Amino acid sequence: MRFLDQPPRYLFFTGKGGVGKTSLACATAIRLAGLGRKVLLVSTDPASNVAQVFEQEIGNRVTPIEAVAGLFALEIDPQAAAQAYRDRIVGPVRGVLPDDVVRGIEEQLSGACTTEIAAFDEFTGLLTDSQLTDGFEHVVFDTAPTGHTIRLLQLPAAWSGFLANNAEGASCLGPLAGLQKQREQYSAAVAALADAARTRLVLVARAQASTLREVARTHAELAAIGLSRQFLVINGVLSDDDAARADGLAAAVLRRERDALAALPEPLRGLPTDYVPLMPFNLVGLAALRSLLGTAGAQPCDSPDDERAPAVHGLPNLAGLVDGIAADGHGLVMLMGKGGVGKTTLAAAIAVELAHRGFPVHLTTSDPAAHLAETLEGSLGNLTVSRIDPQVETERYRRHVLETSGKDLDAHGRAMLEEDLRSPCTEEIAVFQAFSRVIREAGNRFVVMDTAPTGHTLLLLDATGAYHKEIARHMDKSGITHFTTPMMQLQDPQQTKVLIVTLAETTPVLEAASLQADLRRAGIEPWAWVINNSLAAARTDAPVLHRRAAQEWPQIEIVRERHARRVALVPVQADEPVGVARLLALAAGGANGQTSKEGIDVGSV
């Protein structure tokens, strides 16, 4: 593997959700530890699953991996990082400053932006503070999905400019006067990432056209901030052999992958590139991880148990869920889940099917790495499509504030307001306002939202919950008892249906269950689960795909029996579901899909 040749101290894996960054990062860390080196594996993903991969508890502390000598791991916990950050900022002034001033600082530190900044603060510390990583020969970073990572990496420049011009102000970072040290730390972190002698950036992708286009955008965005020395790993490539070519589904997958690689975006063609084959087993556990990079043989795997097939094939397809959604005539439909599970495709299929049935539909996304237009490849009557673009919404919000709050200010006051609006925290407010506007539309039409990967979505919901508490507090003081906030609408099952999307694999199911628990703590009850891209629901005799299908049965049963009141099973499609016609076929159970139109409840949880 070229990306493993003479590796520097820091290895940084990034890419779209679901492409295998965690598996490759873990396998790399194991390989380096096997060479006798002391290695620290760090996850910066808000929805980290490193603990599940190694089958042991890790958490927000440096923890030895029990089965691998010399390997340690750390999962940066955004919430724990935010609380530690708040304690560090507020602690020294509590009891010194007036209570109302302290409360004001705490309010500024309560938003989702502070959570993100605090986690980034820990990440940059690992890159720049030698004491934190003292004794480790290699530090391997498993990052959050692409959009989240790029946003974090752009923060040093954004905050540097803001701190330089607004040192007397305050923000979600706290009082800015004492933050010059962090400004220097953030700049030093980007310098470390840009130094090829210290850091290797590994872009991870799959042999899929949309994924390769996205990783090309990532390449350009990283290069724009000086991180131009990159490696490319194309993961999960199906082996081209006689057995695969003789199977209808496998042959279609081979053809799609070949076409995608032949059309590799030009910016990626000059990168050192490795290809990692699709494994016939889930990449959980030490033996599987060692197999990924060829240091051990493939794991044995049982053949599918045909007696278990009827129970799985009895599950409804996506059409059964659409029938239930359509019955209400309008409402908000939110698809949530881990990156890479197919939320965008399923959101587009549901929206297209509802529009095809004559309902007015607004399909939108809050995903920074959105590719709805590429999935639709066309238009349809009754369907409008939008994206909550952070940059566009931030600029809209800035203009609105300047035209309203700033219209009567003198030159000095307006200049101070403009400086304050350059804060990256402004983006959080702007995106939340756009999200709230979209929610309101669901009162007279269907709004189908393709959300960002799990961790990012929870940050957005956190902002929604904070807004709800603030409004409720003001209304209570005013004596107003009847009001509606976005959070109240999300909590109302008559107005909002949350669909959790997963794959029939161990880690995605665990993460989906964790997401469901978080939503329930926020008073939001998921309406249904969708198990996407199922090989068990398709027909294949290709050995690798057949063996992977065998491992889906237990996960499908876990979803049915433990987690989901209502569930749909969507098979892998022979043809990539791009374009209105194929999306309609997917929603209606076409292609490899089943034909059942009956939505079924599978028991309460």
Residues 8-292, CATH architecture? 3-Layer(aba) Sandwich (3.40)
Across 455-490, b (16+ Cβ under 10 Å) vs e yields: bbbbbbbbbbbbbbeebeeeeeeeeeeeeebbbbbb
Residue type at 135 in one-letter notation? G
What confidence score (pLDDT) does residue 556 get? 92
| DSSP helix/strand/coil, 233 | strand
Residues of the chain with CATH 3.40.50.300: 8-292, 309-394+445-454+483-587
Distance in angstroms between the alpha carbons of the first and the last residue of the chain: 45
The residues assigned a catalytic role are 18, 20-23, 45, 507
Q: What is the mean pLDDT of residues 587-601?
A: 46
Task: Write the CA distances from 473 to 105, 113, 174, 468, 479, integer angstroms.
Answer: 18, 22, 23, 9, 10
**Whether the predicted pLDDT of 296 surpasses 50:** no
> pLDDT tens for residues 124-160?
888 888 788 889 999 999 886 555 566 656 655 555 5
Lowest mean pLDDT among 39-43, 260-264, 281-285, 524-528: 281-285
309-394+445-454+483-587 placed in CATH 3.40.50.300: yes
CA–CA separation, 358 vs 344, rounded Å? 21
Could you give the CA distance from residue 377 to residue 354 in angstroms, rounded to a whole number? 17
Write down the pLDDT at residue 331: 93
Tokens of 9: 């101290």
pTM of the full predicted structure?
Answer: 0.74
> What is the tens place of the pLDDT at every residue in 179-224?
556 667 777 887 888 888 998 999 999 998 878 988 898 898 888 8
